[in-house]
Amino acid sequence: MIKMKLFTIMPLVLNLAYCIQPQFKNAQPYTPIDSTKLDQLPTMLNATNPGPYGFSSATILYHGNIQESVNNPVIEIKNGMTGTQIQIRVETKVNGASICVMDDVPQDGSENCGKGQIDVCYTPARDGMKFEFYCTESCDSDDVGFYYRIVKSPVGADDLWCTNLPQYDWPSNLQPTPRTLPPRGTTPPNLDQGSSSIVNQAKYSFVLALVSVVCLFLWK
């Protein structure tokens, strides 16, 4: 009976050892995306400042190797959220990795977790808030890179605001912009070069014919 309890408890203990619980330290300032400008955001996966579809990126470090001074990624929206709604989207760069996000509202903190993606909407409890990203499973073996974005509604938006937001705008739906020329044979030939080659060949044939006529005339 004791052995069974130990086997049940040990995974939980190991999991907690590798998981840094939210502490909301060293928050970086963050400006939420204006929902009226979503159609103006970059649509390239390697876009920066802003990133693809307005997403930013961060990394939750592997907890087996980090020092005590290292914290989970934390962002802070200092003000401007009273009377609005927010959409929080998170997507891991490795498909299906576990990830969570929590706000810093005391006792009422909203925690949301998912595997690969988080997509949640709610009304902020305060004018300014912090959000911490962390994991409970995936970071026990490797770093977890991820994209994140918070979209803010206009003040007084109706209850359907979040439902009416685009559903396709995830970084995983984009392809990186190619930085090198495609290999030979994968694109159509240059039509201008082809036309030029035909013209040059015709000129060469005409000169040969003219030389032949002159030679025949001289031989007579």
pLDDT in tens, 107-136: 766 789 999 999 999 999 999 999 999 987
Degrees to nearest 5, angle at CA 80 with 76 and 83? 120
The reply to whether the predicted model has a pTM over 0.85 is no
Total Cβ atoms within 10 A of residue 204:
10
Report the number of distinct structural domains present in the chain: 1
pLDDT in tens, 13-68: 444 444 566 788 899 999 999 999 999 999 998 888 889 999 999 999 886 655 55
Strands (E) across the chain are located at 28-29, 33-34, 56-60, 74-77, 86-92, 98-103, 111-115, 117-122, 129-134, 144-152
Rounded mean pLDDT, 148-170: 95
Residue 184 falls within a domain, yes or no? no
**Residue 67, helix vs strand vs coil:** coil
Structural domain boundaries, residue 140? 28-164
Check which CATH number belongs to the domain holding 106 and give it: 2.60.120
d(CA 92, CA 115): 8
